[in-house]
Structure formats: C-alpha cells, structure tokens
Chain A
Amino acid sequence: MTTHVETVPLREAGRLRSMVDLYLTTMRLAVQQQFQYRTANYFWMLGMVAEPVIYLVVWTTIADQQGGSVQGLTAGYFAAYYIVWTLVRNMNIVFGAPFWEERIREGELNKDLLRPVLPLHYDIAFFAGWKVVVIVLWIPLAIGLSLVFDPVLDPRLLEIAVFAVAIWGAYLLRTMFQEALGMLCFWTTRGAAIFDLWMMTELLLSGRLVPLPLMPDWVQEISRFLPFQWAFFFPIEALVGDLSNEQLLRGLGAQLLWILIGLAIFRVAWKHAIKRYSAVGG
C-alpha cells in the first residue's frame, strides 16, 4: 500500500533571487579559497605562460625571416595574440571531463547529488569565482609580457566590450561541452582516451596552437562549424584583430548558440547518466 506524509513546505526565497544568491555565494567561496593559495596559483599561471611564449618566439622568428610578417600577420600581432591568449586559455580552464572521472570514482558526487541543485550550477559558479582571481593575477603578467614582446593592440570600445563578454562566453561554452563529455564517465571508467582525442581536435581547431588564419582553408572551413574556435580564437580576435561590428556580434551569437547546444547535450546525457550511477566510494 502506498503511504504518504504531508510535510510543511520550508520557507524559501524567490527562485531567481535564490539562484543569484547561490552563484554569488559560491563565487565568493571560490575567491576566498583561491586567494588562500595565491602563490601556488601564480606559479601555476607562470608555468602556463611557457606554452604561448614558445609559440610567440617561433612565429616572431618566422615573421622576421619573412620580412616582418607571416601571411600578413606581423610580429606585433603575434605578440598581442599570444598575450591575450594567456587570459583566454585561463578562462578556458573549466570543470573538465577528467574531473568527472575522479568525482565518480572517489564518491564526491554523492555530496553533490544530495543537494537540491544541479551540480552544473555549482561547477559554473565555483570556477567563475576562480576566474575572478585569475583575471586579477593575469594583469601584472600581461604587463610584464607586453614590456618584453611589444604587442600591437589598438582596440575600439566595442571590441573591448565584446571581448569582455566573449571571455565569459568562452568559459561557459567550454564548460558545457566539457561537462557533457564528462558524462561518458558514467559509462566507462577510463574516458581519458576519448578526452585526449577531443583535446587534440580542440588544440588544432580552436586557434590555441596557431592563429586560425594560418591554417589551411579547409581547416578554417571545418572549424567554422565546430564549437572550438568560438571559445578560443574568437575572443582573442575580437580584441586583437580587426573584426567588423557585424562579425563581432555574429561571434557572440555563435557562442550563445554553442552554449545552448552544449547545455542541451549535457541535460540529455545527465538524465540518462544519473540512472547508471553506482554511488561507489562512500
């Protein structure tokens, strides 16, 4: 026989206000936590600079050997591109798919599932808080790199505004796809191979390895129909390049579209994945 108990609903604040409160509280928590590890964070960021500096030195050398530019891109452009790259790369670090493997294996997901909030919200908010710290730490780093490499950067006000929005768009876009990809961990305990394949594709088609205009035309064509460049090349190009107003707005539109696609994939995958959860690890 089915039994039932009437319970008195708890008092609670309005839905939207509560969600904003949740995001702000979680972000505050993340900022506190990351500032506690500010030295470690800084060394970590410094370590990450090695990659763009190598790319920058290589392309600057090639540009110098070819009379000052490569396919029209000057040494000053490369310097600006890879300095802005460092910020966009940091914004691209999200609750990645491999974290899902650990979250499931170590039983951490149990804690998240007991909460009346989708873990995705917590992940977005926590890492967004972390980004605030990253941006603060990035500014002196960018100044130092600018003094060494002499970037050419002369953005319009709209470009700066679009860049400011686009780096957060990039963050959300990559979050959605990484979270969706992470759902594979509910079916396999070793998703690393698939994640590596995804990362490699992303590396080539996002503009992380090489500015997209230097890639073959067919690669550029393919990348237009994939999400990767909208999370990496587009935000950099919005600030460093010379995009028209229409291209800037279209870029933001593309980001929004891919965020929604990523979210939809995540929601469908989550619905099925959670039924497979075996809640191991305590």
Chain B
Amino acid sequence: MSEAAVHVDELRKVFDVPEREGGLRAAAKGLVRRRMRKVEAVAGVSFDIEPGEIVGFLGPNGAGKTTTLKMLSGLLYPTDGEALVLGHVPSKREKDFLRRITLVMGNRNQLQWDLPALDSFELNRAIYRIPREDFVRTRDELIELLEVGDLVRKPVRQLSLGERMKVEIVGSLLHQPGVLFLDEPTIGLDVTMQKRIRTFVAEYNRRHGATVLLTSHYMADVQALCKRVIVIHHGNILFDGPLAGLADQFAAYKTINVALENGHVDLDRYGEVVHRDGDWVAIRVPKVETSRVAAQLLADQSVLDLTIEDPPIEDVIELVFAQERAE
C-alpha cells in the first residue's frame, strides 16, 4: 500500500446554478419557476501525491483547479468520490486536519487589514494553539526566509501587493502545515517577488518535507518548483506526469536552433523558419522528423552549432488545451 499525502479518487463536484434569459418576461417566469442548471466543475479526477512532492496543477481559468483545491482543503463538499489528505477526509473539517494544512490564495487577504501583520500572527498563534516558544521561533524563521523585516509592523493595508503576499505566506505557515495548497501565489507580483516566493516555497519544502500542490499561470513557477504536473481542463485530467513528459506527449514539433556560417540561406525546405537572429536560425519541425532534418542540415550546410529543444512549456500547455477544444 502506498502512503500518499494526498489521495484523490474519482472526485467530483457539481454546482447547481440558477439561470434565466434576459428581459422582463424571463424575470417574471423566474418568479414562478426557477430554472437550475447543473455545472460539473470537477468531473471525477483521480491522483495521488506523495509526501514531500511539489506538484503543479495546471489548467485554464474555469478548468476546475481551484474547486479541487477547495475540496482538498475542506471548504467544499464533494458531490462524489473520495479525497484523503494526510489521512483525513477534508470535508469533515476535523481540527487535526485543519491544523496540518494551509490554503494560500494569491488574490485573497487573510490578515487583519487595519492592523500590523504581527497582530494577525498573534491571532493565528491562538487559533492554531501554537506554544509561544514554537510560535516565536517559526515566525522569526519565516520572516527571515522571506526577507520580510519590519513590514510586519506596518498596517497590512499600507503594504504593496508583493509585500502583502509575503506576510500572507508567513501567516499561513506559522502552524507549520505539512500540506500546502497554493492557488496562484505569485499572481500580480513583479518578477523579483515571484522569484523570491518560488525560492521560499522550495526552501520550505526542503526544510519541512512539506507536500505542495501549486496552481499558477506563470510557467516559470512550475518549471522552477515542480517535477510533476497535473493538467486539468473542463474538470478532467488530461495529463499527469513529469513536466518533461508533457512536451513528449502533446507537442507535435521540436525546434532546431542552428548557427550557420551564412545565416541568410533559404532553409524553408527543412521546416518552418520561426526566428532569425544574425546567423542563428530557429526551425520548427515535426517531432518525428527531427533527427532526419538535423542530419540533413549537418550534411547540407556549414553548421557552426546546433541544438534541439522542446517548445516552451507555455506553448505546450496552449497546445494541450487547443487539442482538447478541437476534440
């Protein structure tokens, strides 16, 4: 029997959504009979996450990522299926369970708006029943790791978005959760701050062996942190495997970057020329043709250098969703 930190089996969530046409007549009809539509946000997903793993949870808006995270953190009751997080059924919302997890939502503020973050941390100490010496040690460690410094003494409302996110994260981790659900933790942040948060998540994972399920629209987050990704769309899992495998499975082409003695020759017969920069030329070729085309280039041209790359992960993800739409 494997020991997963997160176990999900055929998890499903259906929302009842009221709907009606626009206009007065429809409004009047709605008084008599309210029409409801069932919307399947998560259509029966299954996966396991091992303790200490960092997994990227990818999908476009409305794919079911946040709904899944909310079910796993006990905010939502699933319609069907099973979920276990650290051996707890999240929907039971047991105190022992809630003390061992955290959900950080990049677009939400969980701290007291009018007071310095230090006061909110104190409240979290009382809520999570953290012994004072443990609390002080963890708080100071997190403040140092995230380079928060004196920001914790300023009212939260006076902090910038990035500063607020950092103190949010400190507040969310004071109880040292073993499982972190991170929903767009870097959304809206500048590149430096995104990198800071990424480094922190990796460090927290290393120090505490925490399990992390991360959603992000920034592929840099995923590439820096996740060896494994789960791709979800329309509530269904399209891919679950190593990040590198995503391109193997979905990308139909590769890019050959070649440096030529004369970069101005016509290379259209080898594939689609997508970029030229001096003597460097990028040629997109069908995946199955890559070896043959590369060999041909080496034989036909005066090649100074040659590399073969998978397409950027953003392009692969876009391709995955495009394929799914086409089906």
Q: Do A and B bind each other?
A: yes
Q: Which residues of A contact B (CB under 8 A)?
A: 1-7, 9-13, 18, 21-22, 24-26, 29, 32-33, 36-37, 107, 110-111, 113-117, 274-275, 277-279, 282
Asked whether, in the complex, the Cβ of A11 is within 8 Å of the Cβ of B134, the reply is yes
A-B contact pairs, 20 of them (CB 8 A): A2-B82, A3-B4, A5-B5, A11-B134, A12-B99, A12-B130, A22-B127, A36-B115, A110-B105, A113-B93, A114-B73, A114-B74, A114-B101, A114-B103, A116-B96, A116-B127, A116-B128, A277-B76, A277-B77, A279-B75
In whole angstroms, how far apart are the Cα atoms of A81 and B127 in the complex? Answer: 40
Q: Which of A9, A13, A18 contacts B96 (CB 8 A)?
A: A9
Q: Which residues of B contact A (CB under 8 A)?
A: 1-5, 7, 15, 48, 51, 70, 73-77, 82, 84, 86-87, 93, 95-96, 98-103, 105, 107-108, 110, 112, 114-115, 119, 122-123, 125-131, 134, 175-176, 178
The 7 closest A-B pairs by CB, nearest first: A116-B98, A25-B126, A116-B95, A12-B129, A3-B4, A3-B7, A22-B126
Question: Which residue in chain B gives the minimum CB-CB distance to A117?
Answer: B127
In whole angstroms, how far apart are the Cα atoms of A36 and B51 in the complex? Answer: 44
**How near does chain A come to B19, taking the closest CB pair, in angstroms?**
14
In whole angstroms, how far apart are the Cα atoms of A279 and B102 in the complex? Answer: 16
Chain A contact residues: helix, strand, loop or mixed = loop
Q: Which of A33, A110, A279 contacts B114 (CB 8 A)?
A: A33
Residues from chain A with Cβ under 8 Å of B84 in the complex: 2-4
Asked whether, in the complex, the Cβ of A110 is within 8 Å of the Cβ of B75, the reply is yes
Once A26-B123, A277-B76 are accepted as A-B contacts, the answer to whether A5 and B4 lie under 8 Å apart by CB is yes
**How near does chain B come to A31, taking the closest CB pair, in angstroms?**
11
Asked whether, in the complex, the Cβ of B86 is within 8 Å of the Cβ of A114, the reply is no
Residues from chain B with Cβ under 8 Å of A107 in the complex: 108
Asked whether, in the complex, the Cβ of A21 is within 8 Å of the Cβ of B108, the reply is no
Asked whether, in the complex, the Cβ of A4 is within 8 Å of the Cβ of B126, the reply is no
Asked whether, in the complex, the Cβ of A111 is within 8 Å of the Cβ of B129, the reply is no
Q: Which of B73, B99, B114 contacts A116 (CB 8 A)?
A: B99
Question: Which residue in chain A gives the minimum CB-CB distance to B96?
Answer: A9
Asked whether, in the complex, the Cβ of A114 is within 8 Å of the Cβ of B98, the reply is yes
In whole angstroms, how far apart are the Cα atoms of A110 and B73 in the complex? Answer: 10
Q: Which of B96, B101, B102, B129 has the most chain A CB within a 10 Å cutoff?
A: B129
**How near does chain A come to B140, taking the closest CB pair, in angstroms?**
18
In whole angstroms, how far apart are the Cα atoms of A24 and B131 in the complex? Answer: 16
13 further A-B contacts with Cβ under 8 Å, apart from A3-B4, A25-B123, are A3-B1, A3-B84, A10-B99, A10-B130, A11-B131, A12-B131, A29-B123, A113-B93, A114-B75, A114-B98, A115-B128, A275-B77, A278-B15
In whole angstroms, how far apart are the Cα atoms of A10 and B131 in the complex? Answer: 10
Asked whether, in the complex, the Cβ of A18 is within 8 Å of the Cβ of B108, the reply is no
In whole angstroms, how far apart are the Cα atoms of A111 and B111 in the complex? Answer: 9
Residues from chain A with Cβ under 8 Å of B48 in the complex: 3
Residues from chain B with Cβ under 8 Å of A6 in the complex: 87
Q: Which of B98, B103, B114, B126 has the most chain A CB within a 10 Å cutoff?
A: B126
**How near does chain B come to A38, taking the closest CB pair, in angstroms?**
13
Residues from chain A with Cβ under 8 Å of B4 in the complex: 3, 5
Asked whether, in the complex, the Cβ of A36 is within 8 Å of the Cβ of B114, the reply is yes
In whole angstroms, how far apart are the Cα atoms of A114 and B126 in the complex? Answer: 14
In whole angstroms, how far apart are the Cα atoms of A36 and B116 in the complex? Answer: 12
**How near does chain B come to A232, taking the closest CB pair, in angstroms?**
31
Asked whether, in the complex, the Cβ of A18 is within 8 Å of the Cβ of B126, the reply is yes
**How near does chain A come to B9, taking the closest CB pair, in angstroms?**
8
Once A114-B102, A116-B98 are accepted as A-B contacts, the answer to whether A277 and B108 lie under 8 Å apart by CB is no
Asked whether, in the complex, the Cβ of A25 is within 8 Å of the Cβ of B99, the reply is no
Residues from chain B with Cβ under 8 Å of A18 in the complex: 126, 129
Residues from chain A with Cβ under 8 Å of B103 in the complex: 110, 114
Once A10-B175, A113-B75, A113-B93 are accepted as A-B contacts, the answer to whether A4 and B128 lie under 8 Å apart by CB is no
Residues from chain B with Cβ under 8 Å of A114 in the complex: 73-75, 98, 101-103, 110
Residues from chain B with Cβ under 8 Å of A13 in the complex: 129, 131
**How near does chain A come to B205, taking the closest CB pair, in angstroms?**
16
In whole angstroms, how far apart are the Cα atoms of A218 and B223 in the complex? Answer: 74
Residues from chain B with Cβ under 8 Å of A21 in the complex: 126, 129
**How near does chain B come to A21, taking the closest CB pair, in angstroms?**
5
Residues from chain A with Cβ under 8 Å of B98 in the complex: 114-116
**How near does chain B come to A15, taking the closest CB pair, in angstroms?**
8
Asked whether, in the complex, the Cβ of B75 is within 8 Å of the Cβ of A4, the reply is no
**How near does chain A come to B292, taking the closest CB pair, in angstroms?**
45
Q: Which of B3, B93, B110 contacts A111 (CB 8 A)?
A: B110
Asked whether, in the complex, the Cβ of B108 is within 8 Å of the Cβ of A110, the reply is yes
In whole angstroms, how far apart are the Cα atoms of A4 and B102 in the complex? Answer: 19
Asked whether, in the complex, the Cβ of A277 is within 8 Å of the Cβ of B126, the reply is no
In whole angstroms, how far apart are the Cα atoms of A110 and B107 in the complex? Answer: 12
Asked whether, in the complex, the Cβ of B51 is within 8 Å of the Cβ of A5, the reply is yes
Residues from chain A with Cβ under 8 Å of B175 in the complex: 10
**How near does chain A come to B159, taking the closest CB pair, in angstroms?**
16
Q: Which of A5, A33, A278 contacts B86 (CB 8 A)?
A: A5
**How near does chain A come to B166, taking the closest CB pair, in angstroms?**
18
**How near does chain A come to B186, taking the closest CB pair, in angstroms?**
16
Residues from chain B with Cβ under 8 Å of A10 in the complex: 99-100, 128-130, 175-176
